[in-house]
Structure 1
Amino acid sequence: MIVKMKFINISGPRSDIDRVTDLYLSRYEIQLESALSELKTVDNLRPFIEINPYRDALNKAVQFVELLPNVQDIVPDTSLGLNDMFEIVRKANEDYMSLEEKKEKLKKKTEQLRTKQQVIAPFRPLDCDLHHVLNYRFINYRFGRIAVEYYHKMLKYLMEDLGAIFVEGERDESYVYGAYFVSPGEVQKVDAVFRSLHFERIELKDEFEGTPSYAYQTLDSEIARIHIEIEDLDKAAGEMLSDRAPQLVAAKNRLEELSNNFDVRKLAARVEDKKEDYYILCGWMAEDDVEKFLAEIKEDDKVFVVVEDDHDTFFGEPPTKLENPKLFKPFEMFIQMYGLPASNEMDPTVFVGLTYSFIFGVMFGDVGQGLLLFIGGGLIFHFKKAPLAGIIATAGIFSTIFGFLFGSIFGFENVLPALWLRPIDHMTTLPFLGKLNTVFIIAVAFGMGIILLAMILHIINALKSHDAEGAWFDANGVAGFIFYASAVASIVLFMTGNSLPAGFVMAVMFGVPLLLIFFKKPLTRLIQKRADKMEESKAMFIVEGFFELFETLLSYFSNTISFIRIGAFAVSHAAIMEVVLMLAGAEEGNPNWIVIVLGNLFVCGLEGLIVGIQVLRLEYYEMFSRFYKGTGRAFQPYTKKTNKK
């Protein structure tokens, strides 16, 4: 059901706002609205312009708590005062930043070493002492790289007459790395040749010892040593935070409360004149909470509360808060997916819970598979609190019930007696139609009943919202209900072999409701005593009315026939399980139990998913579309209830 909401104004001395939010409002759920925009009739309203003093410390506390392992197992230290919490966070931040600064220096050093590695890496195959080479006095050298295609040309055409030695290092798909050595007298000529071959020089600094390979390994060892130092610093930071874990968790929790309470100022307003300076807060609160709140502040002379009775006129539509029995609570997920009910609508959660579970049970009737859904969904819901798991568990109960009614357990239909009928076998003979599967007939009859019930819910919702057209002349209103109920009654009389009413009675039963639906707009204006005229011409009105009426009749038929899917899935489920048992060789008396187990799991998963989607489709398109709008907005309290005393 929808919790009844009240719009309240809370005011008091400006300096008392933190005490009120911390002592009272943090213990209730209240959706605060902007006082500046809601209280348009109050003069001299001004916004609060203050910086949150808890935000920085809270951000640091959150950062440190997120670094702690198994936070949920840490017991907060509740003995700390507010100043102690600030000091704990400040000292932890100081020590943490000191360790982080050391880490950053080591990381920069690592990057520098990696840069050196990248320079020296391509020359590792060269067997020479780099320090000696870089200090040659009578031989010129050039380290660098040359494109592969030019390297091959150099070897083929130039190398014999070049007067230089090229020592190859590593190569990749594009380049050959290495160095060439040349006498000082030939250096200009050789350099010119290598420039024409697009040789790219790589400068090596005299900072390496031994061969390039040895220098690379030395740098690698140095990087590994620095990584160990960084890991030691991380470990030290973790130990430092773990030693202060109870204090940090307590500081984070309390600072979060205080920060949220302080941020209430964003929605509050100030009224300041020569004599007074006070705050105003306003918002929506559940009626029961309002009564408790008023009783609690009765002796507090610094808090003033006004409950607005005519809130719809001045403050708009109340937010929607749903409160249903635990059994139906998971089905609120389906309501939220479609849209929350407005304050003047009925909450369809219980209706959805009952109809969804019932229809699912009919379409998926099997004792064994129903129990699997119930146990699996129940366990997941117990540990994870997932709404969908709760829905699966409830649907599994109804699947089990209809499994007994159909006499089916894990697909076997010769173990349990059918308490009602077997969907795949039971047939019924009807006039004009002949033999039909009984489950199909019952599914359509059930659909007719559901559609009539949805029309009744539509009428109730329309009356609650003072919608005369919707209540009396709509296709789902009183006129539509009478027409559809007359059609249902006539079909039942014909199929059961009873005589139909006289022609004049039939004309009244069907004709009058259709005329009311056709002329719903002018009739509504007549009831409401409105003087406005129709926007369209009479001819256009008749054409539009005719096609709308035709669409209405077509929707009655299609929505009713749509419920055949209930019987179809009940029969198909039994047929699929027959196939599984046939593949397992159950008919021969020596079944393959592995095939039976895997087949049941496959059917339980895949067909269960398909049936769940099909039932949801029936809910949304065949039922919700008739009575439910879902135009409400969610109730969003600025903080959840706490048990703080």
Structure 2
Amino acid sequence: MIEKMNFLSITGPKADIDRVVNTYLCKYEIHLENALSELTTVESLTPFLEVNPYRDALNSINTIYEELKSPPAASNRSTGIEKALSTVKEIRGQSEQLQQEQTELEEKCSSLEESLRIIRPFRNIDYDISSILHLKYIHFHFGRIEKQYYEKFKKYIYDNLNTIFLKCDEDDQYVWGVYFVPKHEAHKIDAAYSSMHFEKIFVPDNYTGTAQQAFSSVSKQYEDALKHLEAQKQKRQRFLSDRAGDIVSARDTLHQFSRNFDVRKAAACTGNHENFYILCGWMTESDTRAFQADIASDERIFCLVDGEDTTSPEHDPNHQPPTKLKNPKLFKPFEMYVKMYGLPAYGEMDPTWFVAITYSFIFGAMFGDAGQGLLLFIGGFLLYRLKHIDLAGIISCAGVFSTFFGLMFGSIFGFEDVIPALWLRPVDSMTTIPFIGKLNTVFIVAIGFGMGIILLCMVFNIINSLKMHDVEKTWFDTNAVAGLVFYGSAVLCIGLFVSGHAVPGGAVLAIMFGVPLLLIFFKEPLTNLVEKKAEVMPKEKGMFIVQGVFELFEVILSYFSNTLSFVRIGAFAVSHAAMMEVVLMLAGAENGSPNWIVIILGNLFVCAMEGLIVGIQVLRLEYYEMFSRFYKGSGRKFEPFCSRNK
């Protein structure tokens, strides 16, 4: 069901808004609307503009909170805002200091790692690296050269140049080394090395001793820096862990005050000097009564409750109340399917109960197996209780009906000879239809069930349309009274025909079928006539007739196709039994000594695969064959700025 809403206008002194929000509105769920947009008839309204003083502190504490590995649960005891702000300032200061120290260590590690990367290939040079870097009359370059070019250089060029190349290291691709040349020949020899794709590597002047000593020294410094960095990280994490309770408490307090302060975004100011605020929003009737009783003795707050009919056609559509669903716990999981299609508009029928009953019933009929149904029920129930997953609750309810139909069909884990069928066995049961012959009984029952569901959905559409004062949808549409009479008459005639009774005469059939079709054909002119519009018939009468004929043909065809769509209920009931027969055949059950591993695995496979397919097919029936007839789903969600569930 949809909870009934009241529209509230709350006003008081501008300086008192924080007290009102923190004292009263936080105790109730109110869906706030923009007061400037809602109160268009009130003159001299201005927006309530103030900068949120808690936003920066909240952003800071949120950043720190995200670093907590396992934040504790929020305490019901709220700290004061001043204490929360001082806590944030203190924790932010210490955290930033620890973070700065950590950043400096990270930069040091990065610098040492780069030094190691540079000196590592040259660590075999048994000479003071600093002396090499300070040579005055000898030109040198550290670097690397690809092996293929190194071999060519060594074979064809090296002996002809006045240079010394000291090989230091190599791998599969490169040779590292340093070459020396006299300064007066540096330009020419550098060009020769460059032609061999020698890549120069800059070695900074911060190494002491031999290359090996420099490498060992830097390695030791790097290891020490890594240890210090890890210790610093642990120190900062311990600090955050020790203050986790204060962080969570301050965060919750700041979140509450920041959210409450942001109420100003929806408020408006009025008065000569903007002395008063106005807040507008929707509350449920129960919350409205409690709120009015709460503020009865408070002289600084005034509340006006709008009691007008918000579903009337004269009412502003932009003032349409939000939708808040309230269903029993058994039906609650099925709200997921309703929300997937669209929330019901305020005043429209909430189809949650209808979905819960029909979805579970049809699923059970299509997946009738007492054993597998019981597994679905137990598994879905446990998962729903532990994880609160709506889909698990739906599976659990569907499992109950699967178990029921399994008993009706005499099927348990695919075995058809263990328990007797309380009703029939889908594969074997046949019914003779006059002039048609034998048909599977479950197919006939499925079509009959579908006819009943379609008629019920038409009744729902008429009820919804009456609430919305929609003449066409109530009387002349495909799913209105005209469509109900036509389709109901067709169902009655088919029922009489199948049961062997005489079908009504031609005159009765003409009235039952002809008149409703004419009403559907002329639905637009008839609607204009009832609503007393100036132009009853459209100007292009020829086009109107051609379009009406094609639409009427489509209507009749859709009735037929929508009815046959329910055959899938019987088809899946038969296919389930057939699939389990295959499993039992593979397990060798016919020989009297079945392979129980194959039976268990086969049951699990069929339960998973067919359960998924049946679930999707039932949802398709819900959306396309049922919802499309009576349900719009054009509502908007009730979103309180302060929820009791938070």
Q: 2:529·2:536 contact (CA, 8 Å) conserved in 1?
A: no
Query: The residue matched to 2:283 in structure 1 has which SS?
Result: strand
- In the other structure, the counterpart of 2:412 is 409
- In the other structure, the counterpart of 1:307 is 305
- In the other structure, the counterpart of 1:90 is 89
- In the other structure, the counterpart of 2:37 is 37
1:571-586 correspondence runs (5 A): 571-586=574-589
- In the other structure, the counterpart of 2:282 is 284
CA drift at 1:198: 4.3
CA drift at 1:629: 0.9
1:205-354 correspondence runs (5 A): 205-210=204-209, 212=211, 215-273=214-272, 277-310=275-308, 312=310, 313-314=315-316, 316-354=319-357
Query: What amino acid maps onto 2:112 in structure 1?
Result: L
Separation in 1 of the partners of 2:11 and 2:379?
Answer: 51
Q: 2:144·2:176 contact (CA, 8 Å) conserved in 1?
A: yes
Gap regions ≥5 residues in structure 2? none
1:4-83 correspondence runs (5 A): 4-73=4-73, 75=75, 78=78, 80-83=79-82
Query: What amino acid maps onto 1:167 in structure 2?
Result: L
CA drift at 1:253: 1.5
Q: 2:80·2:253 contact (CA, 8 Å) conserved in 1?
A: no
Answer yes or no: is 1:502 the counterpart of 2:502: no
Query: What amino acid maps onto 1:359 in structure 2?
Result: I
> CA 1:500–1:188 in structure 2 vs 1: closer, same or farther (change >3 Å)?
closer
Separation in 2 of the partners of 1:402 and 1:112?
Answer: 73
Separation in 2 of the partners of 1:214 and 1:37?
Answer: 77
CA drift at 1:210: 4.9
Separation in 2 of the partners of 1:530 and 1:515?
Answer: 20
Q: Deviations over 1:561-612 (max 9, x none)?
A: 0000000101111111111111111221211111111111111111100000
Q: 2:7·2:280 contact (CA, 8 Å) conserved in 1?
A: yes
CA drift at 1:165: 2.9
Separation in 1 of the partners of 2:534 and 2:192?
Answer: 100
- In the other structure, the counterpart of 2:561 is 558
Separation in 1 of the partners of 2:56 and 2:155?
Answer: 70
Separation in 1 of the partners of 2:577 and 2:505?
Answer: 43
Per mean C-alpha deviation after superposition, the further-off stretch among 337-346 and 67-76 is 67-76
Q: 1:131·1:208 contact (CA, 8 Å) conserved in 2?
A: yes
C-alpha RMSD of matched pairs (Å): 2.2
Separation in 1 of the partners of 2:620 and 2:170?
Answer: 64
Q: 2:72·2:248 contact (CA, 8 Å) conserved in 1?
A: no
> CA 1:125–1:336 in structure 2 vs 1: closer, same or farther (change >3 Å)?
farther
- In the other structure, the counterpart of 1:143 is 142
Q: 1:76·1:249 contact (CA, 8 Å) conserved in 2?
A: no
Query: What amino acid maps onto 1:84 in structure 2?
Result: K
Q: 1:407·1:419 contact (CA, 8 Å) conserved in 2?
A: yes
Separation in 2 of the partners of 1:397 and 1:218?
Answer: 74
Answer yes or no: is 1:475 the counterpart of 2:473: no
Query: What amino acid maps onto 2:611 in structure 1?
Result: G
Query: What amino acid maps onto 1:450 in structure 2?
Result: I
1:196-211 correspondence runs (5 A): 196-210=195-209
Query: What amino acid maps onto 2:540 in structure 1?
Result: S
Gap regions ≥5 residues in structure 1? none
CA drift at 1:433: 1.8
Q: 2:268·2:279 contact (CA, 8 Å) conserved in 1?
A: yes
Separation in 2 of the partners of 1:617 and 1:248?
Answer: 48
Q: 1:28·1:642 contact (CA, 8 Å) conserved in 2?
A: no
CA drift at 1:413: 1.5
Q: 2:586·2:598 contact (CA, 8 Å) conserved in 1?
A: yes
Query: The residue matched to 1:71 in structure 2 has which SS?
Result: coil
Separation in 1 of the partners of 2:608 and 2:215?
Answer: 57
CA drift at 1:174: 6.8
Query: What amino acid maps onto 2:615 in structure 1?
Result: G
Q: Deviations over 1:347-389 (max 9, x none)?
A: 1110001000000000111111111111111111112111111
> CA 1:75–1:218 in structure 2 vs 1: closer, same or farther (change >3 Å)?
farther
Q: 1:7·1:311 contact (CA, 8 Å) conserved in 2?
A: no
Per mean C-alpha deviation after superposition, the further-off stretch among 547-556 and 411-420 is 411-420
Separation in 2 of the partners of 1:45 and 1:385?
Answer: 45
Query: The residue matched to 1:300 in structure 2 has which SS?
Result: coil
Q: 2:538·2:544 contact (CA, 8 Å) conserved in 1?
A: no
Separation in 2 of the partners of 1:311 and 1:239?
Answer: 59
Separation in 2 of the partners of 1:100 and 1:333?
Answer: 45
CA drift at 1:86: 1.9
Separation in 2 of the partners of 1:503 and 1:281?
Answer: 66
Query: What amino acid maps onto 1:348 in structure 2?
Result: P
Aligned residue-pair number: 641
> CA 1:75–1:38 in structure 2 vs 1: closer, same or farther (change >3 Å)?
closer
CA drift at 1:19: 1.0
Q: 1:475·1:552 contact (CA, 8 Å) conserved in 2?
A: yes
Q: 2:74·2:252 contact (CA, 8 Å) conserved in 1?
A: no
TM-score (norm 2): 0.94
Q: 2:38·2:319 contact (CA, 8 Å) conserved in 1?
A: no
Match of 1:485 among 488, 501, 506: 488
Query: The residue matched to 1:177 in structure 2 has which SS?
Result: strand
> CA 1:249–1:487 in structure 2 vs 1: closer, same or farther (change >3 Å)?
same
TM-score (norm 1): 0.95
Query: What amino acid maps onto 1:197 in structure 2?
Result: M
> CA 1:550–1:537 in structure 2 vs 1: closer, same or farther (change >3 Å)?
same
Match of 1:545 among 545, 548, 555: 548
Separation in 1 of the partners of 2:482 and 2:187?
Answer: 105
Separation in 1 of the partners of 2:528 and 2:77?
Answer: 68
> CA 1:533–1:483 in structure 2 vs 1: closer, same or farther (change >3 Å)?
closer
Query: The residue matched to 2:451 in structure 1 has which SS?
Result: helix
Query: What amino acid maps onto 2:221 in structure 1?
Result: E
Q: 1:26·1:642 contact (CA, 8 Å) conserved in 2?
A: no
Query: The residue matched to 2:347 in structure 1 has which SS?
Result: coil
- In the other structure, the counterpart of 2:359 is 356
Separation in 2 of the partners of 1:319 and 1:113?
Answer: 62
Query: What amino acid maps onto 1:342 in structure 2?
Result: A
Q: 2:143·2:176 contact (CA, 8 Å) conserved in 1?
A: yes
> CA 1:30–1:595 in structure 2 vs 1: closer, same or farther (change >3 Å)?
same
Q: Deviations over 1:13-40 (max 9, x none)?
A: 1111111111111111111011111111
CA drift at 1:12: 0.6
Query: What amino acid maps onto 1:298 in structure 2?
Result: A
Q: 2:344·2:633 contact (CA, 8 Å) conserved in 1?
A: yes
Q: 1:76·1:246 contact (CA, 8 Å) conserved in 2?
A: no
Separation in 2 of the partners of 1:351 and 1:359?
Answer: 12
Separation in 2 of the partners of 1:195 and 1:523?
Answer: 93
Separation in 1 of the partners of 2:185 and 2:526?
Answer: 110
> CA 1:376–1:535 in structure 2 vs 1: closer, same or farther (change >3 Å)?
same
Query: The residue matched to 1:641 in structure 2 has which SS?
Result: coil
Query: What amino acid maps onto 1:54 in structure 2?
Result: Y
CA drift at 1:190: 2.6
> CA 1:144–1:376 in structure 2 vs 1: closer, same or farther (change >3 Å)?
same
Separation in 2 of the partners of 1:610 and 1:370?
Answer: 15
